[in-house]
């Protein structure tokens, strides 16, 4: 089969495994003497290396954000927004997308071999914080010889990283783009994450996180965890429009002779089964815990204004009207704190019925907001040359 690649695609791409041969001291105190990162890049780095964008993925994201892998007809997870003429325009920017440590798409994480034991890290992989991802990304930045990101861009957990970058390394980014995110999780969000983790751990095949040593995996538990999460990423309106009470199979008139399955049940079962074959259960537990721990202003007397006082970059904050997992109110809190801290900030609330998943999906106003902002960033860079 010949793949019909759209003209505004970055085309066929491949990943590179980058060895970061420098120690990384994690927030928990564990030191990784070295680690590996799976990375994809799109576009061309300019002569003074000033046009680089860093893409920060969310919970289940990978390095494959745009384009197509050889033989695969599914594009990267942010393909609608990365490419020639798209909001993250690869004719103007050099886009760096990585899979963070602790994840399971080739970077150092629970499925990697622990050099001290010769066995997979599994549940023994050290606890992570968002700042650990930022420090790993900073070492990757050194690998490319980049002194300052034109922008750090992320949605959801990715937006948390973009904010953390602004506080940890204020002189190493010109813009922080925070999409569908929050300065800390609500109690409800933490509750959903704990229910999902309990679903994984209740699977008999979890084996206290040591399932790889037994050549198995807690797929049923992980599928259920994904189903729980997926419901929270969608809006009630979208589920009603897309599925309603339509039946996938069965007939109420037939009674028990033909069991009834709703379309939404079939959809969630498919999503859960697919995810459980692609993702690692220990990574899911590790990263959801990292989400729970995130609190941008904890070290600043719980004062977000004081926290943002350390930032030197400009900000774009975007929210979506139907996102109840990271509601617009959370983005307005970020914006208000930035204004109070005297920072340059633009804010847009985008109308969408797509729920939290809206930050991944095509939307004309979202494309315009992000594209216009980054176009100004590119204009400034090119005007400075």
DSSP 8-state assignment for residue 84: T
Instruction: Please tell me the predicted confidence (pLDDT) of residue 248.
Output: 52
- CA torsion, ordered 337, 325, 236, 76, to nearest 10 deg: 100
What confidence category does residue 251 fall into, taking pLDDT thresholds of 50, 70 and 90?
Answer: low
Tell whether the model's pLDDT for residue 119 goes beyond 80.
yes
Tell whether the model's pLDDT for residue 114 goes beyond 70.
yes
Q: Tens of pLDDT along 141-181?
A: 999 999 999 999 999 999 999 999 999 999 999 999 999 99
Instruction: Please tell me the predicted confidence (pLDDT) of residue 201.
Output: 98
User: What is the set of domains in the chain, with CATH numbers?
Assistant: 16-184+296-380 (3.40.50.1820), 190-288 (1.10.1740.110)
Structure token digits, residue 45: 């780095």
Instruction: Please tell me the predicted confidence (pLDDT) of residue 133.
Output: 98
* pTM of structure: 0.94
- Number of C-beta neighbours around residue 331 at 10 A: 25
Top-confidence residue, 244 or 165: 165
Helix ranges restricted to H, the chain: 130-144, 157-168, 187-201, 219-233, 236-242, 263-278, 281-293, 304-308, 328-340, 364-384
Instruction: Please tell me the predicted confidence (pLDDT) of residue 237.
Output: 82
Average pLDDT over residues 324-351: 98
- Give the residue numbers marked as catalytic: 156, 323, 356
How big is the chain, counted in residues? Answer: 385
Tell me the C-alpha to C-alpha distance, in Å, between residue 295 and each of 15, 164, 301.
32, 10, 11
Average pLDDT over residues 304-327: 97
Q: How far apart are CA 173 and CA 141, in angstroms?
A: 11
Q: How far apart are CA 181 and CA 233, in angstroms?
A: 13
Q: Tens of pLDDT along 3-58?
A: 788 889 999 999 999 999 999 999 999 999 999 999 999 999 999 999 999 999 99
Tell whether the model's pLDDT for residue 258 goes beyond 80.
no
Per cent of the chain over pLDDT 70 is: 94
For residue 155, the cross-strand partners are 179
Burial of 245 (0-12, 13-18, 19+ CB in 10 A): exposed
For residue 319, the cross-strand partners are 349
Structure token digits, residue 383: 């005007």
Average pLDDT over residues 189-197: 97
Q: How far apart are CA 78 and CA 65, in angstroms?
A: 5
Structure token digits, residue 230: 């997926």
- Number of C-beta neighbours around residue 61 at 10 A: 26
């Amino acid at each position: 089969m010949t793949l019909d690649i759209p003209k505004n695609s970055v085309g066929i791409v491949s990943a590179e495994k980058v060895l970061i041969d420098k120690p990384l001291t994690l927030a928990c105190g564990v030191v990784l003497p070295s680690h590996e990162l799976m990375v994809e890049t799109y576009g061309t780095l300019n002569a003074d290396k000033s046009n680089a964008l860093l893409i920060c993925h969310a919970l289940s994201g990978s390095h494959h954000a745009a384009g197509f892998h050889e033989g695969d007809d599914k594009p990267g997870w942010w393909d609608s927004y990365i490419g020639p003429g798209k909001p993250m325009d690869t004719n103007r920017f050099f886009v760096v997308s990585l899979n963070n440590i602790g994840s399971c798409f080739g970077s150092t994480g629970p499925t990697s071999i622990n050099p001290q034991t010769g066995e997979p890290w599994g549940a023994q992989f050290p606890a992570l914080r968002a700042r650990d991802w930022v420090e790993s990304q900073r070492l990757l930045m050194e690998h490319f010889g980049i002194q300052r990101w034109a922008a750090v861009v992320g949605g959801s957990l990715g937006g948390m990283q973009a904010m953390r970058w602004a506080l940890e390394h204020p002189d190493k980014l010109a813009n922080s783009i925070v999409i569908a995110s929050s300065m800390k999780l609500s109690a409800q969000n933490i509750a959903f994450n704990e229910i999902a983790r309990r679903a994984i751990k209740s699977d008999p095949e979890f084996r206290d996180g040591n399932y790889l040593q037994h050549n198995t995996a807690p797929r049923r538990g992980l599928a259920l965890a994904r189903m729980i999460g997926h419901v929270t990423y969608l809006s009630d309106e979208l589920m009603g429009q897309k599925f309603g009470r339509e039946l996938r199979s069965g007939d109420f008139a037939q009674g028990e002779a033909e069991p009834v399955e709703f379309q939404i049940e079939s959809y969630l079962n498919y999503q859960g089964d697919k995810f459980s074959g692609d993702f690692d259960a220990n990574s899911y537990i590790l990263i959801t815990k990292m989400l729970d721990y995130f609190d941008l202003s904890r070290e600043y007397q719980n004062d977000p204004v004081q926290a943002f006082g350390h930032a030197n970059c400009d900000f774009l904050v975007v929210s979506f009207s139907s996102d109840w997992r990271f509601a617009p109110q959370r983005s307005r809190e970020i914006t208000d704190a930035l204004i109070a801290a005297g920072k340059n900030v633009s804010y847009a609330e985008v109308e969408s019925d797509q729920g939290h998943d809206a930050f991944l999906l095509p939307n004309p106003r979202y494309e315009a907001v992000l594209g216009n902002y980054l176009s100004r960033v590119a204009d400034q860079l090119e005007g400075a040359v």
